[in-house]
Chains A and B, each alone.
Chain A
């Protein structure tokens, strides 16, 4: 069965093939593009399932079974740069998650994008994304990881800007690309540093990989100039990449704007899979983060950094989500917040805690996004929750599944998966000795999560249809509606402006996802920690008494209490007296207008970046332009003018002084020569005549001289 591990590349290869073929297909081949995308994802899912079984068989008993396949790729002098893939529990879990969620979202997209003229292009990008993400998951080399990491970044850019004729979408795509690039630069530096220190980028290579004990020991004992260990430095640089990709503070700004893309993209890329890649990166190179020489009871400095960034992000984004009005943006800030929870889990509880939340979150957040997509679809591209209301009776399936997703995200006790995974994180935070603040922040974040989700659901599904919302819906002219989704559907529903339930191709994935949103919780409860055991390669056994172990029950009770507090508060504020008019002020806004404005404007982070980063950039560019225009250009002008002047002088000297001098000399020579030539006539008699004259003159002179003396 290790043959499968050797051919693990087949899993990303199928979607890649589908992407390549649909890239060259014409626009009209809609069914073929969708069929190939879905077929390749189904194949990938089957293979991932098989890989999962293989990994499970390896993991049982042998203790963290891991099959790697490496091959040389590029030669540097004597050294070969190697790529490879690895099959271990971590990979297997991610493979199944990515391909399953991906498959469901592909199917959903068939309905959601049905009227888009660039349907084929959409599936091409989506397949390319799936290929890159699956490649990232199986990578056994940091280089291959980085390649796929950049590829998912590229597809994210392409898909956010899918409706590129909307200026906001184009700007959001650029923002996402550039912001994540900042993190990726650090990632690249970390990678180069790692290569220079350990000489390999393979994670596992039969004892020689950079995540294996011998290499880790070297890295953890080598100090840098600043006193940090090399392993810490590299881990922090890699974590910067994760911050960018996973939307952690301070690079979170791109993720909410990324909601300009089509909703399936938001679900697949910006909620379930790609943004989790940063978390997955930390989980993958976890040995590097946790490497230390001495016994460090509360983890290393790099893990502490992960914890703090994660917990701050969790609360920061959750507070912003409270005040947003765009249905997708609320979910986006919720994603940022939950990614922060995952980072907390990784930092304090290890791989299993963080990964468990990643997996459960992927399912229920995909569910929520797809549900939001269904709502948006049913309300004809209305995204503002203030104009919705009362949708529960129009879209029952969406309402039911959305409710499940919302309860899972809020962490409703005992039944929903989000409860167990979040409880794991809180439990880890509670037993973290370095500081109690992450625990408090986590509890506060969990409470806020329940609160803003209740607010959203109350706004969208409960109460009555807000009249001005219906009026706004009716007044949307045909031409002004969504540019990417032209008229056929509007023609179909044009007569009634009632919201409608989405087609079955969109609701079926919702149902499947909501099943997982519930069921997944049970594989990782404290009583039966199968998931955690699988990741660490141990046996899991059912032991209910573990629920009652030291500190477990109080934490369970606290997390239950905060969830109920959040839910109750939300219901008390928004559900009890439904909002009747769309533009009336929010309840919280009436209570604390200043705080609410601060939250609604997202703590003015965008404005601060605009002022500081963009402003500095503009100032610097202006300064450079000024220097260029006046200083360098002046110097160049000066030099060129000097050269021109010198050449004028040179020309004058040449033409007037030297040339005329030569001319004069030559004329003199010519004249003299002509005179002499005339003298030398060759006639002997002339010579004689001259001699005669000379003789006569001589004689006269002599005579005269004689007479004078």
Chain B
């Protein structure tokens, strides 16, 4: 098993854990953490494909990862703001009870 495959497996594991957390947990914070995990699994993939790719001298993978982390930071800020705002309105962070999207 090459090291690339090992990285890909690791990132797939991370993604799966994040996905399970995002889908299964009720707490909005945990769901947000799950989303961050999935994002980081994608970052790990960028780095791994860049490191074991055809031209590792170009810093494309790192650049991608840095952008992605930046976006993830902004996204986490927006997500947390949403969670706080929902909590203020509904006094809960339990996503099972937040169903006002059904109209």
Contact = CB atoms under 8 A, between A and B. Distances in A.
B68 to A, nearest CB: 20
B14 interface: no
Contacts of A677: 102
Interface string A673-709: 0000100111111001100100000000000000000
B22 A688 contact: yes
B19 interface: yes
B19 A680 contact: no
Interface string A288-326: 000000000000000000000000000000000000000
Contacts of A689: 23
A682 B31 contact: no
A681 B102 contact: yes
Nearest to A683: B99
A680 B103 contact: yes
User: What 10 pairs across the A-B complex have the smallest Cβ distances?
Assistant: A682-B102, A682-B99, A682-B101, A680-B102, A683-B99, A689-B23, A685-B95, A681-B102, A688-B23, A685-B23
B2 interface: no
A223 B82 CA distance: 114
Interface in B81-103: 95-96, 98-103
Contacts of A683: 95-96, 98-99, 101-102
Contact of A692 (B23, B31, B100): B23
A683 B26 CA distance: 10
Interface string A74-86: 0000000000000
A683 B99 CA distance: 5
Contacts of B103: 680, 682
A93 B99 CA distance: 119
Given A692-B19, A692-B23, A685 B99 contact: no
A683 B97 CA distance: 8
Interface string B44-73: 000000000000000000000000000000
B49 to A, nearest CB: 19
Interface residues of B, number: 13
A680 B100 CA distance: 10
Contacts of B95: 683-685
A636 B55 CA distance: 104
Given A680-B103, A692-B19, 13 more contacts: A677-B102, A680-B101, A680-B102, A682-B98, A682-B100, A682-B103, A683-B95, A683-B96, A683-B98, A684-B101, A685-B24, A685-B95, A692-B23
Nearest to B25: A685
A688 B31 CA distance: 11
A677 B99 CA distance: 12
Interface string A533-560: 0000000000000000000000000000
Contacts of B99: 681-683
A9 B58 CA distance: 144
A273 to B, nearest CB: 105
A688 B95 CA distance: 12
B7 to A, nearest CB: 20
Contacts of B100: 682
Nearest to A680: B102
Contacts of A680: 101-103
A705 B11 CA distance: 25
A14 B24 CA distance: 121
B23 to A, nearest CB: 5
A689 B31 CA distance: 13
A685 B98 CA distance: 10
Contacts of A682: 98-103
23 contacts: A680-B102, A680-B103, A681-B99, A681-B102, A682-B99, A682-B100, A682-B101, A682-B102, A682-B103, A683-B95, A683-B96, A683-B98, A684-B95, A684-B98, A684-B101, A685-B22, A685-B23, A685-B31, A685-B95, A688-B22, A688-B23, A692-B19, A692-B23
A683 B102 CA distance: 8
B54 to A, nearest CB: 22
A698 to B, nearest CB: 15
Interface in A154-194: none
Contacts of B102: 677, 680-683
Nearest to A689: B23
A681 B96 CA distance: 10
B22 to A, nearest CB: 7
A677 B103 CA distance: 10
A684 B100 CA distance: 10
* Centre residue among A685, A688, A689, A692 by max chain B CB count within 10 A: A685
Interface in B1-28: 19, 22-24
Contacts of A685: 22-24, 31, 95
Interface string B28-39: 000100000000
Nearest to A677: B102
Contacts of A684: 95, 98, 101
Nearest to B100: A682
B47 to A, nearest CB: 23
A28 B101 CA distance: 104
Nearest to A678: B102
Contacts of B24: 685
Interface in A584-624: none
A685 to B, nearest CB: 6
Contacts of B31: 685
B93 to A, nearest CB: 13
Contacts of B96: 683
A698 B44 CA distance: 24
